[in-house]
Structure formats: C-alpha cells, structure tokens
Amino acid sequence: MGSGGNAPEFTSSAVTTATQGVLYNPTLTATDADGGTLNYSLDVSPVGMNVDASSGLIAWTPSANQIGSQAVTARVTDPTGLFATQSFSITVANVNDPPLAQNDGYSMIQGGTLNVSAPGVLGNDSDPDPADTLTAVNFSAASNGTLAGNANGSFVYTPASAFSGVASFSYRAQDSSTATSNVATVSITVNANKAPVAVDDTFSAPVRRSTPPYVPQILTVLANDSDPDTALDPTNVINPATVVISTAPNKGGSLIVNANGTLTYTPKLNFRGTEVFRYRVRDNLNAQSNAATVRVNVQ
C-alpha cells in the first residue's frame, strides 16, 4: 500500500465459482475516502481473464484446461498511487464437451476382407475432456458389402465378391457422459484384382535309374513369380495362389502340384536331356497369369 492519504477499499465480494465455457463477468467495486477516479487491474489471473480499468468489469470464459482452482489477485489504485488488493480462488466447474470424430480412409484388394483392430476408427478422434473414454456408436450400414463395427473402434468389412471401387460407412464417437460427436465417414478403397505374373524357370535333376530308389525333385516355381495385389503365397489368406499345369512334361516325366505351391517332379526312367512343361498361377478370384515355361535339365 502506498504512503499518505487514504487507500481505496474493495466493497465487492469475490465471486468464487465459474463454469467452463460460460462467461464469468462480475464487477469489482471499491470506495476511496479521498475521492478521485479509481483504476482496476489484475496482479494474478488465469489466462484469458481481463478487467476493464475504469468500470472494474471482469470478462473471462474458462477453457477446458482451466477446470479446477484458479487464483486471482485484483488491485484497485487511486490517483495518488495508493492501492488495495483482493485475492481469491475461483473453482471452475467442468461442462462435458462432445468428442470430435475425424474421417478415416483404408484400402484393400477385391475379394478379401478388411479386418481393422482397435482403436480403429477412433484412433484419430479426440475429446476436449481428457478423462473421457471414447467408444464408437451409430455405425451405419456399409455400401457394397457387409460391416461388423465394434465399440472399441475395430471393424470387419467384407465387400461384395465382384465389387471394386470406394465403399463407405459412417459412425459417431461417444464419450463417458454419452455425448456424441459429429458424424464421421470411413472410406474404403477396394482395388480391382490383378492377375499374377509368372516367370520362366530352369532346374536341374539327376537321371532316374532303376536303383537306388529315386528321390523326386521339388521345384519352387513360385519363387520368382509375383502378384500386383499381395504376396504370392498359397497360404496367403487374402489372395492365395494356386499353380495350374497348362502343358504337361514333354518327355514322359510326372508332376504333382503340392499345397504349398511347389511341384514334385520325377523324370522318366533313364531319361537324360531337357524336359519342358508350362504352368500358370491362379489367384482366389480365378485370375490367371501368363503361361511360364519350366525347363528341367536331367543329367
């Protein structure tokens, strides 16, 4: 407090409660026995709080991160520089805010199933209230396929067998107080199936004699082949590959197509030379590759 004269005195009582998102605007009042114009200011205040210097009107809208106790120290000063302060705490009550849901995008290949684990569609959503837990609700039906959506944001989408293009569905995010978000759209690009690509192969095999017993040769024909959609693998659950013999061995040898995509080859007894056959690779939508030529040098 300054020296000489009479310092001003606050006459207003502190307003110690506020609500998040609601304007807090009490008026500070004070008297001064010496008269003159009083000036109001804030020594300590939360972010965003202002006071009109001449009227004492406080203006502040508490934000979500200001919930709880906020300290304030107000000052009133007279023309001679004498002043008084008033310190108090404001308890800011929380008002639940709805979540914010963001659109999502995924891609997959035709004929497969898109299985997205948690948090799934909720992964890029948010809530102004940090303590809230989000769940996914109000799933719409999906276009061009079937959808199983779960509260934890995970979902399984299965497109119609012949469909390729962009499918979609919508949902909302819901917080712990059951407030719901805007509607968010999930877009799924279903890429058209493409045929595998087969590449020619060359293998070596020993001559088959009457004794000792012959060990058939395993030919890994898929090792240098590919599929534009997925890994080329008979065990790929999304787009499994199957080897199809298109032209039988030309020198009397035998072939067995194995479940793992390899071929078991046995040459004709006492044959020596080069045996040729052809095969194609077929995916789960029956798209077939070009015909690849396999040469087995038996010697």
Delimit the domains of the chain by residue range: 9-93, 104-191, 201-298
pLDDT, mean of residues 136-152? 99
Structure confidence at residue 130 (pLDDT) = 82
Structure confidence at residue 1 (pLDDT) = 41
- Which residues, 6 or more positions from 107, have their beta carbon under 8 angstroms from its beta carbon? 188, 189, 190, 191
Nearest of 146, 151, 149 to residue 113 by alpha carbon: 146
Across all residues in the chain, what is the average pLDDT? 95
Buried-state track 271-294, b at ≥16 Cβ within 10 A, e below 16: beeebebbbbbbbbbebebeebeb
Structure confidence at residue 5 (pLDDT) = 85
* pLDDT tens-digit map of 155-211: 999 999 889 999 999 999 999 999 999 999 999 999 998 999 999 999 999 999 999
Structure confidence at residue 51 (pLDDT) = 99
Beta bridge partners of 188: 106, 167
* pLDDT tens-digit map of 63-107: 988 999 999 999 999 999 999 999 999 999 999 999 999 999 999
Share of the chain above pLDDT 90, in %: 86
Residue 219 pLDDT more than 70? yes
- Size (the chain), residues: 299
Residue 236 pLDDT more than 80? no
Structure confidence at residue 238 (pLDDT) = 62
Quickly list DSSP for 167-195.
EEEEEEEE-TT--B---EEEEEEEEPP--
Q: Which CATH number fits domain 104-191: 2.60.40.10, 3.30.920.30, 3.30.300.30, 3.80.30.20?
A: 2.60.40.10
Element (H, E) at 225: none
Beta bridge partners of 185: 170
On the question of a common fold for 9-93 and 104-191, the answer reads yes
3-state SS, 99-132, equals: CECCCEEEEEECCCCEEECCCHHHHHCECCCCCC
Structure confidence at residue 3 (pLDDT) = 45
Q: How confident is the model at residue 2 (pLDDT cuts 50, 70, 90)?
A: very low
Q: Which CATH number fits domain 9-93: 3.20.20.80, 3.40.50.300, 2.60.40.10, 2.70.150.10?
A: 2.60.40.10
* Six-digit token string for 272: 């020596």
* pLDDT tens-digit map of 25-61: 999 999 999 988 999 999 999 999 999 999 999 999 9
The whole-model pTM stands at 0.64
CATH says 201-298 is which class?
mainly beta
Structure confidence at residue 237 (pLDDT) = 65
Q: How confident is the model at residue 234 (pLDDT cuts 50, 70, 90)?
A: confident
